[in-house]
Structure 1
Amino acid sequence: MASYIGSATSRVDGRAKVTGEAKYAGEFNVSGLVHGYVVDSPIPKGRIVRIDTSGALGVAGVIDVLTHSNRPTMADKDDAYKDEVAPEKGSPYRPLYDDRIQFTGQPVALVLAEDWETARVAASLVKIEYQKEPHVTDLQAERARAYAIDVPEKPRGDAEKAFASAAISHAAEYSIPTEHHNPMELFASTAIWENGQLTVYDKTQGVQNVQQYLCKVFKLQPNAVRVMSPYMGGGFGAGLRPQYQVVLAVLGANALKRPVRVVLTRAQMYALGYRPASIERLALGASSDGLLESMQHEAIAVTSQFEEFARNDTGWGNLLYKSPNAKFGHKLVKLDLPTSSDMRAPGAATGVYALECAMDELAIALKTDPVQLRLQCYSDRHQGEDLPYTSKQLRECYRQGAEAFGWDKRNAEPRSMRDGSELVGWGMASGVWEALQVPATVRIVLTANGHAEVATAASDIGTGTYTIMAQVAADMLGLPIDNISVKLGDSTLPQCPVEGGSWIASSVCNAIANTARAVRGDLLELAKATKDSPLAGAGVDDVALIDGKIVSKQDAGRAVPIASAMQSGKAERITREEINQPSEDKSHARNVHSAIFAEVKVDEEIGIIRVMRVVKAVAAGRILNPKTAHSQVMGGVVWGIGMALHEETLYDHRFGRVMNANIAEYHVPVNADIHDIKVIFVDEPDEMVNPLGIKGLGEIGIVGVAAAIANAVYHATGKRVRDLPITLDKVIEFV
């Protein structure tokens, strides 16, 4: 039987998704379903003075309108609203808790009706009087109020002194606007009370996280709450924390004792989390021969007034480049906005963008090739912790990426390459992310007919978790992949944290390996008990499961069919549940790396930028499925193109309101914007990171892409744009 691990396997859930068999949170129907529509605040700060719901209640089909004054009981303490991924400092937002308004779009009422259209119409008839208070929503205008927070990267040497004395130096600010996740599937929850049990179908990246949250908020016993999310139409980090619609759905179900569904509109999703706007300050100093002598990186980022949210923007240089002197800092500015949140490669997408643009500018000042500078400054150790890597094939990423792109044909002079009326620019950048693991538990039930069910509470957020789990289980159990069924997204299944950080593949698949070994041990005992067993005396690591048999590794002729072993032992099924506990070994750094090369064409007359080619070479340990892995990285590249040229949440700061809260005016790349994308997976065996050598791919796809494009735009035009996105109006004066 051919190995499934490492093969380009099509999604096992693909048919369910394209036929509509797959059900999402807003699609679970039940008798007596009530529909909720959210009324949200048009002001960013103040208090509710009066709410008049009489107009809404007078609409035929409206059952009730919930507000802070008549909602069912909720917990009072902040701890009840903190969850697995919540910021440590602050007071998490509580939907419909009191009369306080903390951000535009905050839910202030929930209209409950027999159908969604009626609820929507009635919501427009709810009259609310507010007492407004002065608000602030502009990072640039408020940056003087920024305050420092602790960062994990410790300074070394005297970075400021080394910078001042460096032969060649570069210092600049790079700015990234607020970006919103905009997954295709809207956030939705369906809450059902039945016989004292609450079942919630929720759009989430962590069903057990939501289950624990609801138990605390509504003071319920864990065995009384089940949260399910079998499929998710994109999350990108927006679904890591429980979002407010799940609380509203449960409030409605509590109030009416009927099932309630709440689906947010696209505009309402702009009141959820977002990638925080940030200002990144870089100062790099180098010797005349291109060795880094000083590296300084400080970020100033947005958070809400009521919580502190921060991620590591500034420490990525420690993972890429040698510098004896370094200093890092992170500051926050509190604004009257919702709390910012994780968004694909949080911290790295923004921080590495600034770092890699600064490295490009330093290369120009040094009159050296950008790839050559990175190789000269290359670090084989984590500079901040002075640790070697379990593996680091970034040099090979540079080599293979440059070769596939044709980098050696680049004319280094800006504005020197053109195609007719278009300026041609080539740029490159590095990418880096963490190879993380979390404790995860998997249950395998193997039946005598040669079928196995593999189950864990992890979510598949669209990345292919169902498929890679089936592949690993098929290989470990020696069964055809069609004989494997995977169960995910149910809080009653074995424990697994939220899906994010690129840690699910490594965590869950190694848990499958552990559990499959336990199953193999049980099968071996049954096989050894058969008369004249050919496996007598064998230990669990002396045998393998191959083609439906338990087989000696030393002699393939010594084998017992799985069915025979189970039948002779009168076992209809074998059930085992094992955990994958990440190694506590801190002797090595664990990271994923990449090199990105991009070609842009800039119309010399009207400034339109087109990304014509991107080559991304990735070193990410063992690749379980080249087909889904390619899609993962390609999707990240597309998002990086969006980050560089398109994405920006626009605010009218006079009103503290998002002006483009829709996907017509919040620009993302469309098919016409995407041309040739080549993904290269660099071979990177790694026996230290975990037994299967898996590092993860979810985040690395986007990291560095925006920088490569920004650097290419400079090469094409000769002018540097340091504030994203790089739009037509910012380059037209240069061309």
Structure 2
Amino acid sequence: MIAKPTIPDLLDQSPDRPGAQIGKPVSRVDGRLKVTGAAKYAAEFNTPGLVHGYILSSAVARGRILRMDTARALALPGVLQVFTHENRPSLPWFDRRWKDDDAPKGSPFRPLYDATIHHALQPIALVVAESFELARYAARLIHVEYEADPHQTDLQAASAAAFTPGKDKGGFEPPPKPRGDADRALAEAEVSVDLEFTQAVEHHNPMEMHASTVVYHNDGTLTVHDKTQGPLNTQTYVCNVFGLPKEAVRVISPFVGGAFGSGLRPQHQLFMAMLAATTLKRSVRVELSRPQMFSFGHRPETLQRVALGARKDGTLTAIIHEAVQETSQTENYVEVVVNWSGQQYKCDNVRLDYKLARMDTHTPLDQRAPGAATGVPALEIAMDELAARLGMDPLELRLRNYTEIDPNTGKPFSSKELRACFRQGAERFGWSRRNPVPRSMRQGRQLIGWGMATGVWDAMQGQASARARLGIDGTLTVGSATADIGPGTYTAMTQIAADVLGLPLDKVSFQLGDSNLPMAPLQGGSWTVSSVGSAVKAVCDRLRERLAKLATGLNDGPLKGLKAGDLDFAGGFLVARSDPSWRLSITEVMRANDLLVLEEEALSVPYYKAQMQHKAGTHSAVFAEVRVDEDLGTVQVTRVVSAVAAGRIINPKTARSQVMGAVVWGLGMALEEETMTDQRLGRFMNHDFAEYHIPVNADVHDIDVIFVEEHDEVVNPLGAKGVGEIGIVGVPAAIANAIYHATGKRICDLPITADKILEG
């Protein structure tokens, strides 16, 4: 039964109201489990008789396997099997008809399908042995002969054959049709900029490497412990690939050590573990090594051009944003890169273009704020350059072209407190004290730069279900088959449930990461609170209505004759608003009605009509200070202020942590992260933590997060928007703009390393 969503009562959202839990800075309810090591991850579930698999990867970027000699590996005592394309069983998956829930258009890569090599580090064999160490050693004894073909891993060269993708089932929104005549307006503009940008390949590299532990039971059923952002997606995947009924497969993933998009699609270690378990009828674990984490999807390399035209007063007259992004030979992986430039500012003449270029690499993969973290920085750096040429404050230029509607669609924003973000962020940062002249602020040999940028991300909601069980002792258990990749989902859902029923947090528990729980979408895109949180609210609203009906129906009770709207729920009690002394505990209500348990399940659906009439998004203003060593070209990001408008904030403490983590990643995008390809070999060379540089403690200084008050009656029943993505989007541009202010050098090639600053 579908629970009818209700518009939140914005006057009743104060965290000071009776029983309120939403809006409080609550510490993570699962924090103790994580810091004590009690939380179990995919590679930490053990079972008697568990064996281990190790994956052998291809040494060439394109070609075919001519011969594979596994005899020496198989001769080792304790080696159970070596799976290759020559001996793997025939499976339903290999008919190429089925894809996972997050698959782009095309044919997904299938490990061990045939002798063809599609990309470097492609998995070509699985060694299964009694121990991980033995399996890894045995893999080194396998001799492989290849016939290598010429490969293409250079995006600059591949871009000559770039093509326009069609609409993708994964939600790709093609660029809108041009409005006005952007090319003519650019040519006639009083002031213009025309910049080219490059964005390097980045890899996710979460703390927990991808792993799958498949427990094989005597009755042939399987329990799968997988690193995933969606237990139901993993279940559907293995059932389709291996021809199994859903009743035979249970997926359990209570904790995920970071994913950032890498767990949206089932990765090949899951297929390998399932292949071994179902063939050998043994429990099997396959865990990727850190170098093997570079063998699947990544944030794609991108080439962009942004051209802006304006009048001398700063009014935009032309926006052109073109992008070419890499994809694999078999799938059309697409991102929304250029569309943001059409909705960010008022402009009558806009042309947006997005193309793909095929390369001999694995299909790229969503990575935190996919598309926006690539496209928005290019626009925001171009806006900063335009401000410099106009002699105008960069903040003033953005305010001059501010819009309250989405120009791409003509729809009003459901809420947009970006002006407040600008105002509060600038005040906190001290932006008014900025000397606008490049290289004008310094301390000794340190050049000081101040830069700013705008961030934007969509606010989305999907269908989700939740189940709730309330005991007579006032304890509440709520569950949904979502995941928690680190943002604090356990805590936020606990707060929402406790808030609706006025319960103390220690009386509420939330269950997730189990395919036996009610349906939930993949965790990604900053929509879990919006989607699953709305389902939690819906199911707890049902319990609240039932309790209110039971309490007001008691003939000798103090609440007799009152209506549900006359009651508050606080501290485990139902309380009359007119007289707080009239109250009944949940235990008293249930005992009086001879009930030990109340159970409900609810499906939450978006406000389709209202949402279709609006554009929903989160917005931010990011201000950054850098210090650039004039002699060495090294950069320190000494201060960042991020002002975010994201609707109702469920938990300011965990939300702040999300934004801080995103700022750190944005720092990495701006200055450090780059997976480098040797074009001769067609493979990533720095596939480890020694050479793949990410920010460390010494790189991170003051980060100040402001949550701007914002009410939204359209976005979902909670009025809440996600913060996982919005925190990163504007950061690379703010840092790049600060570097320009410090040095007078405009660098549009990310990451900005010391050699680029010193060059010329």
Aligned to 2:645: 619
Q: How is 1:355-374 mapped onto 2 (pairs within 5 angstroms)?
A: 355-374=379-398
Structure 1 residue 707, shift from structure 2 partner: 0.4
Per the alignment, residue 438 of structure 1 pairs with: 462
Once residues 352 and 302 of structure 1 are traced to their aligned partners in structure 2, the CA distance between those partners, rounded to angstroms, is: 18
Number of the residue aligned with 2:161: 145
Task: Classify the secondary structure of the residue corresponding to 1:323.
Answer: coil
The residue identity in structure 1 corresponding to 2:668 is G
1:472, distance to aligned residue in structure 2 (A): 1.1
Match of 1:125 among 137, 141, 157: 141
SS in 2 for 1:149: coil
**Other-structure match for 2:54:** 37
Alignment partner, residue 428 of structure 2: 404
Aligned counterparts of 1:141 and 1:472: Cα–Cα separation in 2:
51
Residue 111 (str. 1) matches residue 127 (str. 2): yes
For 1:209 and 1:371, the matched residues in 2 are separated by 43
- Cα distance in 1 for partners of 2:89, 2:504 equals 51
Query: What corresponds to 1:102 in structure 2?
Result: 118
Whether 1:184 aligns to 2:201 is no
Residue 536 of structure 1, CA deviation = 3.2
1:396, CA displacement in angstroms?
0.8
1:46 pairs with 2:59: no
Contact 1:431 1:593 (C-alpha < 8 Å) held by counterparts: yes
SS, match of residue 701 in structure 1: helix
Q: Which residue of 2 aligns with 1:422?
A: 446
SS class of match (1:316): helix
Separation in 2 of the partners of 1:678 and 1:186? 30
Q: Please, what TM-score do these two structures have when normalized by structure 2? A: 0.95
Q: Does 1:656 align with 2:682?
A: yes
Corresponding residue for 2:151?
135
Moved more, 126-135 or 357-366: 126-135
* 1:573–1:582 Cα change, 3 Å: same
Q: How high is the sequence identity, in percent, across the aligned residues?
A: 54
CA gap of 1:725–1:538, structure 2 versus 1, over 3 A, is same
Q: Is the 1:281–1:297 Cα contact (8 Å) retained in structure 2?
A: yes
Partner of 1:189: helix, strand, or coil?
Answer: strand
AA aligned to 2:653 is K
Residues 19 and 503, structure 2, Cα contact 8 Å, conserved in 1? no
1:714 to 713, 732, 740: 740
Residue 79 of structure 1 deviates from its aligned partner by 5.7
Q: CA deviation at 1:227?
A: 0.9
User: Quick one: distance in 2 between partners of 1:142 and 1:320?
Assistant: 30
1:581 equivalent in alignment to 2:582:
no
1:452–1:484 CA contact under 8 A, matched in 2: yes
Give yes or no for contact 1:267–1:662 (8 Å, CA) kept in 2. Answer: yes
Match of 1:598 in 2: 624
Shift of 1:731: 0.8
Contact 1:81 1:93 in 2 (8 A): no
Matched, 1:698 2:727: no
Equivalent runs, 1:178-217 vs 2, <5 Å: 178-194=201-217, 195-217=219-241
**How far did 1:554 drift?**
4.0
CA–CA distance in structure 2, aligned partners of residues 535 and 68 of structure 1: 71
Relative to structure 1, is the Cα distance of residues 132 and 416 closer, same or farther in structure 2, using a 3 angstrom cutoff?
A: same
Cα 1:99–1:172 change in 2 (3 A) is same
Q: CA deviation at 1:564?
A: 1.2
SS in 1 for 2:213: strand
Structure 1 position 319, deviation (Å): 2.7
Structure 2 residue matching 1:97: 3-state secondary structure: coil
User: What is the SS of the residue equivalent to 2:726?
Assistant: coil
Q: CA deviation at 1:78?
A: 5.8
Does the residue aligned with 1:148 lie in a helix, a strand or coil?
coil
Letter in 2 for 1:635: G
How far residue 434 of structure 1 moved from its aligned partner, in angstroms, is: 0.6
Structure 2 unpaired stretches of 5+: 1-17, 167-173
Secondary structure of residue in 1 paired with 2:331: coil
Corresponding residue number in structure 1 for 2:78: 61
Alignment match, 1:670: 696
Q: Distance in 1 between matches of 2:414 and 2:578?
A: 31
Asked if 2 retains the 8 angstrom alpha-carbon contact of 1:72 and 1:254, the reply is no
Q: What CA distance in whole angstroms lies between the structure 2 residues aligned with 1:41 and 1:269?
A: 14
Deviations 1:469-506 (Å, cap 9, x if unpaired)? 11111111111101111110001100001000000011
The alpha-carbon deviation at position 528 of structure 1 amounts to 3.8
Q: Greater shift after overlay, 696-705 or 141-150?
A: 141-150
| CA RMSD in angstroms, aligned pairs only | 1.3
Q: Secondary structure of 2:53's partner?
A: strand
Amino acid of the structure 2 residue aligned with 1:135: H
Secondary structure at 1:635 match in 2:
helix
Matched, 1:262 2:286: yes
Q: Could you say if the C-alpha distance between residues 445 and 322 of structure 1 is closer, same or farther in structure 2, counting changes exceeding 3 Å?
A: same
Instruction: Report what 2:659 is aligned to.
Output: 633
Contact 1:80 / 1:216 at 8 angstroms: preserved in 2?
Answer: no
Distance 1:221 1:554 in 2: 55
Mapped contact 2:460–2:715 kept (Cα < 8 A): no
Distance 2:575 2:114 in 1: 65
Maintained 8 Å contact 2:317/2:349: yes
State whether structure 2 residue 93 is matched by structure 1 residue 93.
no
Deviation at 1:73, TM superposition (A): 2.9
Other structure's SS at 2:738 match: helix
In the alignment, is the contact (CA less than 8 A) between 1:167 and 1:288 conserved in 2? yes
Alignment of 1:214-233 (within 5 A): 214-233=238-257
> For the residues of structure 2 that align with 1:76 and 1:15, how far apart are their CA atoms?
41
663-672 or 69-78: which moved more? 69-78
CA contact (8 A) 1:78 1:92 kept: no
Please name the residue that 2:191 is paired with: 168
User: What is the identity, as a one-letter code, of the residue corresponding to 2:222?
Assistant: L
My pick for the range that moved more, 687-696 or 381-390, is 687-696
Report the AA paired with residue 319 of structure 2: M
Are the counterparts in 2 of residues 73 and 218 from structure 1 also a CA contact under 8 Å? no
Residues paired across the two proteins, number: 733
1:355-391: CA deviation from partner (whole Å, max 9, x where unpaired) = 0000001111111000000000111110001111111
CA apart distance, 1:689: 1.8
Distance (Å, rounded) in 1 between the aligned partners of 2:214 and 2:513: 16
Q: Calculate the TM-score normalised by the size of structure 1.
A: 0.98
Q: Which runs of 5+ in 1 are unaligned?
A: none
**Residue 27 of structure 1 aligns to which amino acid in structure 2?**
E
- Cα distance in 2, alignment partners of residues 476 and 76 from structure 1: 44
Residue 92 of structure 2: SS of its match in structure 1? coil
The DSSP-based 3-state class of the residue aligned with 1:275 is coil
Q: How far apart are the structure 2 equivalents of 1:637 and 1:43?
A: 37
User: 1:465 maps to which residue?
Assistant: 489
Amino acid at match of 2:200: P
Whether contact under 8 Å (2:424, 2:643) holds in the other structure is yes
Structure 1 equivalent of residue 750 of structure 2:
724
Corresponding residue to 1:530 among 540, 554, 557: 554
Contact 1:529 1:569 survives alignment (8 Å): no
Rate the CA distance shift 1:594–1:579 in 2: closer, same or farther, 3 A.
same
CA contact (8 A) 1:598 1:712 kept: yes
Give 3-state SS (helix, strand or coil) of 2:48's partner. Answer: coil
**Equivalent of residue 15 in structure 1, options 24, 32, 45:** 32
Q: CA deviation at 1:534?
A: 3.1
1:431 match: secondary structure? strand
CA distance in 2 between counterparts of 1:146 and 1:80 reads 26
Give 1:267 deviation, angstroms: 0.6
Deviation at 1:521, TM superposition (A): 2.1
1:555 deviates by 3.9
Asked if the contact 2:461/2:715 (under 8 Å) is kept, the reply is: no
Q: CA deviation at 1:154?
A: 2.3
